[in-house]
Amino acid sequence: MAISLTRETLAQAAPKLAELTQHILFEDIWTRPELSPRERSLITLAALTVQGRDKQLSWHIDFARQNGLSEEEITEVFTHLAFYAGWPAAVSALNTFMEKS
């Protein structure tokens, strides 16, 4: 049985990793002024798509919406990536996106 980690289950399974994720990744890296949260979401969607990280992509699709990306822009990210990350990666990402819609 596959387990999907949430922030709460990550904290239970690996407290230090959860702490580092919260304090370094989300409270430091994601808040640096050189890139906006919207830009960081674009980069993150691309990186996760290229790596085929669909479980993490699912959470980041919702986060990208919170950071101002429209449904059309998210779809366009995956369409654009088909030419750079490959068709299977883009179609997998679109499948994850459609499951979230």
pTM (global) more than 0.85: yes
Structural contact between residues 90 and 81, judged by C-beta atoms closer than 8 angstroms: yes
| Strand blocks (E) in the chain | none
Q: What is the pLDDT of residue 29?
A: 96
Q: pLDDT tens for residues 30-84?
A: 999 999 999 999 999 999 999 999 999 999 999 999 999 999 999 999 999 999 9
> Nearest-5° angle of CA 66, CA 67, CA 70?
80
State both tokens at 52. Answer: 């085929």
Q: What are the two backbone dihedrals, phi and then psi, of residue 84, each rounded to the nearest 5 degrees? A: -110, -30
Domains of the chain, CATH where assigned: 37-101 (1.20.1290.10)
Q: What is the pLDDT of residue 4?
A: 64
Nearest-10 Cα torsion for 20, 21, 27, 33? 110
